[in-house]
Structure 1
């Protein structure tokens, strides 16, 4: 399975580590940079490309995932989520990695290079890559609501319980 990686300077060490770890564990890593340390590089340059790589592979029917890495992982997640078809989740524990896959069918994971050790973050990525989407109806429904909003810009209808006694706005 192909795994696209992008980071900024704060994620460079983990990205380089993951390139080797992925190969050693039977994955095909694709490095979208950066390739050298630059303290003022811009994460969107690399994380958007990682997201595009995942989206392109999936459009062609190929299973692939992505990993984006920064200081906190927040900006990198935001960048990856700008790519159509990408659902990127910020993870900070094994549990959030599992839930990102099981409940949200996330296809890109974001981790904070300054928040955890390399071993911890490698474990989060491993859990993310080896966990399957549950396919539960409620999760499928929620993902479809988000996908519909992305396509149309229309908000999902409020449930009747939200309209009782409130403005419904």
Structure 2
């Protein structure tokens, strides 16, 4: 039995409404992310300093001030994930990227992995376009404002999946 024009029009309108709602839900939904597991971090000795990477996350021994710099701390026994930090800062007179303009705000996520020795640590970071938001875990706001006049947020856990965040 053929549908009347009124019923076809109503069906079209309902279908478009459902599609529009579905599109809005999908576009605002973001998958929570976490710091990379230590096992996924690759390391490379570059002129006596170890550099680390896992996807968009990067770091080096020079970033954390560990001594000596020529040790691959990601492979040391006992090193494990400890903290994820959602952070911002204001660029001073010199940034780590030549494109950074003094006074501009940088947003990033830091991932810290530590062991029992004072220098047994690895830090990875990833720049973000805006302040990332917490998704899962117990996130504590720093009591002190950072140089961007916001409060960094930290999540401490033994497993990266216990500190999830949403990237902007």
Per the shorter chain, which TM-score range? under 0.3
RCO higher in 1 or 2 (8 Å CA, sep ≥ 6)?
Answer: 2
More helix by share: 1
Name the larger-Rg structure: 2
Give the structure-2-normalised TM-score.
0.26
